[in-house]
Amino acid sequence: MFLSLICWKRQSGVSRYLRAVIKRQLHLEKAAYRRTVPLLRAALSSRNYGIRIGAGAFQSVGVSVSVGRRQLGSKSKTVYGVVSCFRTYSTLVQKAEVKMPEVKPFERLPTTVLPKHYKLALTPDLKTFTFKGEVSVEIQVLQQTDKIVLNALDLTINKVGLLQEAITNQLPSDISVSAENETAAFTFPQSIQPGDYSLEISFTGEVNDKMKGLYRSKYVNQRGEDCYAAVTQFESTDARRCFPCWDEPALKATFDITLIVPPKLEALSNMPVKSTQDLGELIRFDFERTPIMSTYLVAAVVGEYDYVEDRSADGVLVRVYTPRGKKEQGLFALEVATKVLPYYKDYFDIAYPLPKIDLIAIADFSAGAMENWGLVTYRETCLLVDPENTSAVRKQWIALVVGHELAHQWFGNLVTMEWWTHLWLNEGYASFVEFLCVNHLFPEYDIWTQFVNDIYIRALELDCLRNSHPIEVPVGHPSEIDEIFDDISYNKGASVIRMLHHYIGDGDFRKGMNLYLTKHQYKNTFTEDLWEALEEASEKPVGAVMSTWTKQMGFPVVQVSSKPTEDGSGTLLTFTQNKFCLDGEKPSTDYMWMIPISVSTSQDPLKEVVSTVLDTRETEVIVKNVPSNGWIKVNPGTIGFYRTQYTPEMLERLIPAVHDKSLPPLDRLGLLDDLFAMVQAGNTSTVEVLKLLKAYEDETDYTVWSSISNILTKLGVLLSHTDCEETFKQFEKSLLSKVSKRLGWDTLQGEKHLDTLLRGLVLGRLAWLDDEHTIEEASSRFDRHIGSGPYLPADLRSACYRAVLRAGNKDTYDTMLKLYRSADLHEEKDRISRALGATKDENLLGKVLEFAMSEEVRSQDTIFVIMSVAMTRPGRELAWKFFKDHWKELIDRYQGGFLLTRLVKFTTENFASEKMAIEVENFFNDHKSPGTERTVQQGVETIRLNAAWLARDSEAIANYLKSYA
């Protein structure tokens, strides 16, 4: 643990008095929440809720009162929010350093009428791609009104009636629909008095092709025929596209769901089937009643599927649904799921509350997976394993995704965030907990080391931009909500939870999780509810510490210097914190964090000799028994969410520990990535990171090499704008020489999982560098693969496909397309399509882009095919032009959402000139798309950062690389 309880006495900024005040204020806040839930929702909609971080220096205790106004029925009320006690940190969230995306007008639904129970019946027609629906909603009218407002979008409302005690049927005098607000309003001729009613609505809609709401997913059946499944995807705000409802996470209700479908089709929903009825040409499926839950978790699937099943150790029925004829491909996910459920039951000390859980593979699916309660939907590539054709890295990924979605059954489903501002409570926690369970099930994955490269570093890379956002960010309009499904909510959320877990220890963390889940099960929460539970469990100032990480944008850089103590008995370390900005400029606002700091030394690299909290601008710590030639490592295990900047002398002492690997893998990784961040920010020369990279020539760890590969990719893209691109490739080949010779091409008997992953990584890197021997061997193996055999192992295919395309021509390209068209496993199609951009021929790159938009490529995969082109020097201009030329088509296809934001990122971030920054900025000023504003700002910022980096360092890099010419 970072901090023992006694540290309360020693911390200059956290006195006993402050602790008492914080605990008292938390108690008052909780009381206020429970007394004023409807009014609090109203206050939240006006964007004034939350513990706001004060604008003063980090010196004192402050109190903030949020006030909001909201129409409640026909009266306007002033709503007083929560009185919040906090340390007055240095930034006011609402006052960002940069121009933030324009806030769209938005109001949450009125709280005069609330739903209690839905009876929902859907009849999808997969020939006409339409559906009929009826919903009967038991509602509670809390205040006299003549209007009922709820969410509805892209629906035709045919009939509305309001019943009380099943006798009085009042018809609305007016029905108004607002596509902009995504609402329907029913105005009645007489006032509706407080009480219980039933709202009856019949409606129709389209089974659309946009992968949201109730949509159609195309697949090829065993007879080779094109068929369709009807699938729902409601998160975050698309239940309203399927049925009129109160489509906000806090407006929970129970559901009786009915599906009326053609015979011989599977019909699935959240709960088990209660009864079926033969209606002649159709079959009626009635499902058991759900627990009280949010609308975004409602789910239904209709189509042709096989399944495998088993029961978990605690008796839950688990089924994995696959395309017909492929049920054996569900066995791995079934094995993982049946083990994950009892693991989570034990870890949280709360059983999974439903009688069954289904995991189903969907052909067309925008996200990786969706945690619908009891019916979890997945992309095929995130669920299905073919032992002959699935790579080790894909199998590992599937284990993580299954772990993530099942974690949501507790975090998100059982306990749900009150509003999307607190999305990270769902996604950050699931992204952390998935690693806990996979580490338990597959210790050979060394998954926590991979966490740092795949989760932690990705979060740092985004959060150092001035156009980042806090973990808790005010959102309202659905397009704003879509934008925060990003590396901040997921990866930064998971990273700060990992830091917190280390700070309070696993025992208190588990105890706090149980307190949180038990107290709030079937309810909604704010972030402060979680801090309260963890603080009660650990008796540590969790709320005070963690609010600095969730309510502020960005993270600190901790600058450390050392000198001998005056008496010569130890080393005096001085720590200074500042906000880390990738542009290297000092932030305009005086940021401050409460930073758990730890230190290890060469005497025992795995032991923390210092654990404290840096809660001031600067502090000093004495470390004993460091030899004169020994090293000191800050942030051992790369757990704290911050960058470390050493003095040149301290860094120099660490380099031998990289060579001889006495520095553990996570620290070798963290040391390099921190220095690379300093390079990007202009705090040191790129030459310094090139020199440090040479210390990694004998590296053997997969995750360290994965991080090195990411750095080499970024440097390669940058230097592709210069004349030293080829000499940098020679530098890379020299760096990779030893590890490539050690691994070779063929898997050894009993080989470690991570060596298998490393071989694919290294060969893929060498193929990208046009390494002659790699391309020659890849071409030979590929010829045998498409000829008489043997087939390429799945773990080598991505590298091999890229290698032959790098050296190939149109015949090679056509052969790849033939392989793509004959592939039966979507993972194989995905591998091939992502490799196509490796070709150097600009004419072929144009064909790749056209192929990306063809019907042969699923919409969710299009962006990755375009990305494969945009990542290359000859392809980035082509991809950007293609993106502009096909803007209207892309907007129609994705209608906003995170797939479009990813495409914006991929097609803009590799430029490196002010001219291109202006061009990108102007294009999106003229072509607005809700939900992409922040991503556009980040892209333009990245282009300018690249340009500044080139101007600053290109000459020094070229001089250093001359020896590799």
- Integer Cα distance of 469 and 96 in angstroms: 9
Q: CB–CB of 453/482 below 8 Å?
A: no
In 262-328 the beta strands, taken as DSSP E runs, fall at: 266-269, 273-278, 283-287, 300-303, 306-311, 317-322
* Joined tokens for residue 613: 């909290």
Encoded amino acid at 312, one letter = S
- Integer Cα distance of 364 and 218 in angstroms: 7
Q: CB–CB of 941/671 below 8 Å?
A: no
CA angle 490, 493, 498 (to 5 degrees): 120
Token pair 């001998």 in the structure block, residue = 564
CB atoms within 10 A of CB 102: 9
* Joined tokens for residue 714: 């970024």
- Integer Cα distance of 419 and 16 in angstroms: 33
Q: How far is CA 812 from CA 447, 471, 520, 798, 820, in A?
A: 37, 46, 58, 15, 12
Q: CB–CB of 213/232 below 8 Å?
A: yes
Encoded amino acid at 2, one letter = F
Q: Is 427 annotated as a binding residue?
A: yes
Is 405 part of the annotated catalytic residue set? yes
Q: Is 955 annotated as a binding residue?
A: no
* Joined tokens for residue 836: 């196509």
- Integer Cα distance of 44 and 492 in angstroms: 24
Strand partners, 359: 320, 376
The catalytically annotated residue of 266, 371, 405, 461 is: 405
Q: CB–CB of 917/944 below 8 Å?
A: yes
Phi and psi torsions of 568, nearest 5°: 75, 10
- Integer Cα distance of 285 and 275 in angstroms: 6
Q: Is 27 annotated as a binding residue?
A: no
In 487-627 the beta strands, taken as DSSP E runs, fall at: 523-525, 556-564, 570-579, 595-601, 610-614, 618-624
Closest CA to 894 of 210, 305, 360: 210
CA angle 765, 771, 774 (to 5 degrees): 80
CB atoms within 10 A of CB 164: 15
CB-count exposure of residue 400 (10 Å: 0-12, 13-18, 19+): buried
DSSP assignment of 455-477? IIHHHHHHHTSTT---SS----S
- Integer Cα distance of 958 and 298 in angstroms: 57
Residue numbering of the annotated binding site: 404, 408, 427
Which residues participate in catalysis according to the annotation?
Answer: 405
Residue numbering of the annotated binding site for Zn(2+): 404, 408, 427
